[in-house]
């Protein structure tokens, strides 16, 4: 039977890799109502606590009164509103680029850029730990697809040197989503210059969170548009709304407008989302104290977890995974935390390599110090239990 779906599902269950959704009955926040229980959560990407911010809600409602709910058409038809235009200008200015183009999701932005720029004459060089959407984009483009060892410039350099591709595109996550570490962009951009390649950075987890003004990893590492030609950012994480954008030269944006199929053949995001995101950029720029508080929580969590003897990764970001190893054990620990009213997602293969299952703790500026202490206490109780067993 070719469509024996049950067999595949059963196999997932047996391997402890089965997934299902849970239902929230309250807005995104540290304390949430989920599946009828109250949880203290450490699993969202709402790093600055903006997803339910009253100013964003107000801007959203105001724009919905003006422009309705649906945009009704693609950007190139008549779905591109005043707020979309303003947001593209604001994102270009915020990230220090000449221009920007909106996409409805980050996944689509990545597919759109890589498939528009590359075909089978070209080569794409991806960090081994890149997000699934970047890997899919590289494969779909038809370009010669290579994955270099994580953050390994020697490996990337020798692959670039050997390549005879027409266009060479290096693609990397800014902050790696399952480990929380970041790319060393000066190494990447130097190799790109030596090998006549371009660099694309996916800053989904850096935008809003890193850099003096919150403009992300490129700001933090001083990488201009001449170094990183293609900057992709998502709006559904630190920015608290939804959608994504690509920023770069005017020519790049004009090219994507004409060739990026996931831009052309899809409905524009609602204007109200764009309006709310404009408000979000203001807050990100003008309230650096959110980033300061988040950094304090990150340090506090790391210090506390180290004292408990937990296995942390070398991450300075809001993503603070606790390495467990075995998928079943990661699942058990997440379940034990859940019974204490704390929600932390277990991350298992195939999202991460076999043997590196982990609890993916994410912190937000909306958490209090006391809430992080609650998590540390719960983790301490867990390790005390495993030791006495």
Ligand X SMILES: *Cc1c(COP(=O)(O)O)cnc(C)c1O
Q: Name the residues that contact ligand X, by CB under 6 A.
A: 105-107, 110, 131, 133, 173, 177, 202, 204-205, 234, 236, 244
Alpha-carbon distance values, 259 to 82, 119, 197, 235 (Å): 23, 12, 20, 22
CB 333 within 8 A of CB 306: no
CB 127 within 8 A of CB 273: no
If 0-12 CB within 10 Å is exposed, 13-18 middle and 19+ buried, where does residue 164 land? Answer: exposed
CB 112 within 8 A of CB 74: no
Closer to ligand X at the Cβ: 116 or 333?
116
Closer to ligand X at the Cβ: 133 or 225?
133
Q: Return the residue matching tokens 């003006």.
A: 66
CB of 339 to ligand X, least distance (A): 29
CB of 44 to ligand X, least distance (A): 12
* Calpha distance 290→296 (Å, rounded): 10
Catalytic residues: 177, 205, 237
The values of phi and psi at residue 233, to 5°, are -135, 150
Closer to ligand X at the Cβ: 173 or 227?
173
End-to-end Cα, the chain, rounded Å: 45
**Cα angle, residue 235 at apex, residues 366 and 227 outer, rounded to 5°:** 115
Q: Return the residue matching tokens 């603070």.
A: 320
* Calpha distance 116→137 (Å, rounded): 10
CB 185 within 8 A of CB 156: no
The two tokens of residue 22 are: 């849970």
261-276 burial, b at 16+ Cβ within 10 Å, e below that, comes to: ebbbebebbbbbbbbb
Closer to ligand X at the Cβ: 45 or 356?
45
Give the DSSP H/E element, type plus range, for residue 40: strand 37-41
Q: Return the residue matching tokens 């964003």.
A: 56
Closer to ligand X at the Cβ: 206 or 371?
206
Closer to ligand X at the Cβ: 90 or 378?
90
* Calpha distance 200→180 (Å, rounded): 18
| Strand partners of residue 170 | 125, 199
Closer to ligand X at the Cβ: 179 or 378?
179
How many helices and strands (H and E) does the chain possess? 14, 13
């Amino acid at each position: 039977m070719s469509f024996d779906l049950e067999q595949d599902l059963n196999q997932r269950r047996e391997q402890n890799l089965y997934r299902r959704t849970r239902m929230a009955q309250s807005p995104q926040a540290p304390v949430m109502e989920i599946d009828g229980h109250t949880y203290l959560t450490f699993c969202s990407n709402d790093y600055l606590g903006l997803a339910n911010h009253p100013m964003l809600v107000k801007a959203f409602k105001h724009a919905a009164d003006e422009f309705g709910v649906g945009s009704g058409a693609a950007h190139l038809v008549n779905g591109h509103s005043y707020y979309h235009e303003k947001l593209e200008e604001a994102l270009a200015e915020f990230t220090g680029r000449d221009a920007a183009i909106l996409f409805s999701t980050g996944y689509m932005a990545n597919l759109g850029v890589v498939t528009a720029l590359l075909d089978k004459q070209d080569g794409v060089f991806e960090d081994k730990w890149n997000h699934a959407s970047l890997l899919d984009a590289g494969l779909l483009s038809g370009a010669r697809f290579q994955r270099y060892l994580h953050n390994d410039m020697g490996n990337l350099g020798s692959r670039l040197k050997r390549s005879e591709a027409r266009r060479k595109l290096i693609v990397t996550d800014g902050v790696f989503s399952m480990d929380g570490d970041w790319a060393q962009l000066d190494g990447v951009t130097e190799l790109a210059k030596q090998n006549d390649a371009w660099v694309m950075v996916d800053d989904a987890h850096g935008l809003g969170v890193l850099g003096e003004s919150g403009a992300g990893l490129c700001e933090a590492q001083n990488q201009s548009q001449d170094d990183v030609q293609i900057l992709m950012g998502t709006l559904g994480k630190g920015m608290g709304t939804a959608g994504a954008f690509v920023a770069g030269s005017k020519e790049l944006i004009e090219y994507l407008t004409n060739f990026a199929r996931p831009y052309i053949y899809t409905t524009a995001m609602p204007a109200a989302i764009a309006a709310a995101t404009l408000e979000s950029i203001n807050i990100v720029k003008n309230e650096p104290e959110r980033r300061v508080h988040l950094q304090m929580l990150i340090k506090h969590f790391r210090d506390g977890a180290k004292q408990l003897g937990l296995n942390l990764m070398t991450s300075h970001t809001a993503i603070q995974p606790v390495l467990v190893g075995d998928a079943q054990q990661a699942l058990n620990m997440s379940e034990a935390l859940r019974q204490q009213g704390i929600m932390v997602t277990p991350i298992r293969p195939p999202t991460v390599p076999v043997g590196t299952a982990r609890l993916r703790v994410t912190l937000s500026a909306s958490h209090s110090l006391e809430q992080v202490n609650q998590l540390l206490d719960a983790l301490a109780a867990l390790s005390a239990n495993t030791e006495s067993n």
